[in-house]
Amino acid sequence: MFETLFTYPAVLARHQTGPGSAERGRYLAHCAGQGLARETLLRVARELLVVAERLDVTVGRQFTRLEIEAAAGKWVRHQRRRRRGRGDWSRQLFIQIATDWLRFLELLAVPPDGKLNIHSDLIDDFIAHLRDERGLSPRTVSQRRWQVERFLRHVSSAKSSIADIAIDDVDAFLDSRGRDGWCRVSIATSAAALRSFFRHAEVRGWCSPGIAAAIDAPRLFKQDGLPRGPRWVDVQRLIEGTVGEDPRDRRDHAILMLLAIYGLRSGEVRGLRLVDLDWTGEVITVQRPKQRRTQYYPLVASVGDAILRYLQAARPRCSSREVFVTLKAPFRPLSAGGMYHAVASRLNALGIQAEHHGPHGLRHACAAHLVETGLSLKEIGDHLGHCGTYATRTYAKVDLGGLREVAAFDLGGLS
């Protein structure tokens, strides 16, 4: 299998002679049989070698989730010392590949109930509460599950029961996130999720009272900083750079047009379905899960043409009804990471400097451009799908011309 992926002799030899080569080769053959593209197989093969160097599968014993996470942590620290890798992303990739590989080899230690997290039942109860009683959006519920599962895995080596967890454990976890490079907003988001979980746990009697109230998070200031996105002239360069006949160019061109012109969120573009495009009425239907409502936009000719070119000449034939799918097998709807890569990779290729290199940066750029054209905050909010002007008012800070007019306002001698 390695001979079909690697041609450079030194690289091929490293994979053939590396630890667990037979087990890695069998798994790669299995992945190839599932229809994975060659580029995906290459990424899996490279990560498998990293995993095999840290988890010796030749001894024939099973590995726990905690062992996988500990090995992932050592790998990330090694990468940081070499000033390489992308922190949490590298850790998650290691865990994902290692878990899938060990499961294939039947070397993944799974609890008797079949759940990798010993607190799965409690987490499911918490999630049902958020979904059914509080009515939170699926996106918010998913994010809180991820945050809580991450914390419980972190403490599970020392705390087998939620009743044993104390506020010091929560503080230590949040401190470790800061050392791992998380920003204040990310740490505050994690703290909010844990506060919600322990509030529910206290009601259920799972833990000691007072933990939720004692959880502290970095202070965040409303309207702290400007909404950061590329300049509109750079957005135009970005879109022009995707004009081509290559399938990826066609797909990314349509995506960038939707992000920049309509100011859509990443999830709204990823969730766009073929039935949402009304070619006869020239209307595009956008499902806004954050507000739980549907919004209709006129289908701008340039955007419609871009989507049509992609559908006719670049979109693979597949059963998925989402507009944007992967270009190589196995064909599936574009993921959040795929959407981010579609934007960030092209911004980096053009050398465009922006604080936000992902899809949300183009939403900020769209809003800033609308401010420059003189639209009111109400009009901008309606375009972006905001429920009120509260979320839109941050863009008033980018209207430098308007701010200068306020500063130069003549009070007629009044002081």
| Residue 114 region by backbone torsions, left for phi larger than 0, else alpha for psi between -120 and 50, else beta | left
The SS3 assignment for 401 reads: helix
Q: Give φ, ψ of 105 to 5 degrees.
A: -80, 0
In a 10 Å sphere around its CB, with 0-12 CB exposed, 13-18 middle and 19+ buried, how is residue 88 labelled?
middle
Structure confidence by residue, pLDDT tens digits, 14-70: 888 888 888 888 899 888 887 777 788 888 888 999 889 988 888 778 888 778 888
Rounded-to-integer distance, Cα 309 and Cα 305, Å? 6
DSSP code for 295 = E
Are the C-beta atoms of 55 and 67 separated by less than 8 Å? yes
Provide the strand spans (E) within 162-282. Answer: 277-278
pLDDT for the residue numbered 2: 83
pLDDT for the residue numbered 227: 57
Nearest 5°: the CA angle 254, 293, 137 is: 95
Rounded-to-integer distance, Cα 326 and Cα 316, Å? 8
Rounded-to-integer distance, Cα 283 and Cα 391, Å? 26
Structure confidence by residue, pLDDT tens digits, 303-336: 999 999 999 999 988 888 999 998 887 788 888 8
163: Cβ–Cβ under 8 A, 6 or more apart, which residues? 206, 207, 208
Rounded-to-integer distance, Cα 282 and Cα 261, Å? 16
368: Cβ–Cβ under 8 A, 6 or more apart, which residues? 227, 229, 232, 395, 398
Query: Which structure tokens are listed for 42?
Result: 């290459």
pLDDT for the residue numbered 199: 94
DSSP code for 415 = -
Rounded-to-integer distance, Cα 216 and Cα 188, Å? 8
In a 10 Å sphere around its CB, with 0-12 CB exposed, 13-18 middle and 19+ buried, how is residue 232 labelled?
middle
* Domain boundaries along the sequence of the chain: 2-104, 120-214, 232-404
Rounded-to-integer distance, Cα 43 and Cα 41, Å? 5
Which residues are tagged catalytic? 265, 290, 360, 363, 386, 395
Looking at domain 232-404, what is its CATH homologous superfamily? Intergrase catalytic core (1.10.443.10)
Residue with tokens 């972190």: 154
Instruction: State which H helix or E strand residue 297 sits in.
Output: strand 293-298
Alpha carbon 295 to chain centroid, angstroms: 24
Rounded-to-integer distance, Cα 3 and Cα 16, Å? 9
Are the C-beta atoms of 386 and 392 separated by less than 8 Å? yes
Q: How many residues does the chain have?
A: 415
Rounded-to-integer distance, Cα 230 and Cα 368, Å? 10
Closest CA to 353 of 265, 215, 171, 231: 231
Residue with tokens 């992609």: 310
The terminus-to-terminus CA distance of the chain in angstroms comes to: 81
What would the CATH number be for the domain defined by 120-214?
1.10.150.130
Rounded-to-integer distance, Cα 47 and Cα 284, Å? 41
Rounded-to-integer distance, Cα 153 and Cα 183, Å? 21
Are the C-beta atoms of 55 and 63 separated by less than 8 Å? yes
Q: What sign has the CA pseudo-torsion 405, 408, 412, 414? A: positive
Rounded-to-integer distance, Cα 196 and Cα 208, Å? 14
Rounded-to-integer distance, Cα 10 and Cα 265, Å? 44
Q: What is the mean pLDDT of each run of 10 residues along the chain (415 residues)?
A: 85 88 89 80 88 84 82 81 64 85 84 57 88 83 88 78 88 84 83 93 90 85 61 88 90 92 89 92 85 84 92 90 87 86 87 78 84 76 68 53 45 48
